[in-house]
Structure 1
Amino acid sequence: MCEIFSKILQVPINHIKPIDYVPAAAAVNRPYDCHLSNNQLINLGININCIGFEDWWKNYLNN
């Protein structure tokens, strides 16, 4: 996210350092590759089309 925002806003991020590890005490057990069904949204006539994160923010910040 930081890289995308820096690209959109044209600001440097060389001061940001990645975290290479997560301490075991801070780790959270998450399911692998879980998906939610969109069927109820589709049945209600709700548009489920999506736009990429970077494209959405570019459009939002340019308005």
Structure 2
Amino acid sequence: MAEPAIPSISIDVKAKQETFEWARQDMTRLFFHLIQSGIDVYTLRGEIAYTMNAMHDALQLEGLE
């Protein structure tokens, strides 16, 4: 199965900072609701680590880290 194309958009630095802040707040709300719904905290931590590793790999592929 092919990976979906990741769209790119051109935005300024201030908009990027606001976007990352929004994303952090959204992820925090998501994690809070997952914990409230009874998800195993260790499973959640593992999924977060898996996602962070994937993001790190993507940065390396782009030569940004």
Question: TM-score, with normalisation over the residues of structure 1?
Answer: 0.23
Larger radius of gyration: 1
The higher-RCO structure (CA 8 Å, 6+ apart) is 1
Task: Give TM-score scaled by structure 2 length.
Answer: 0.23
More helix by share: 2
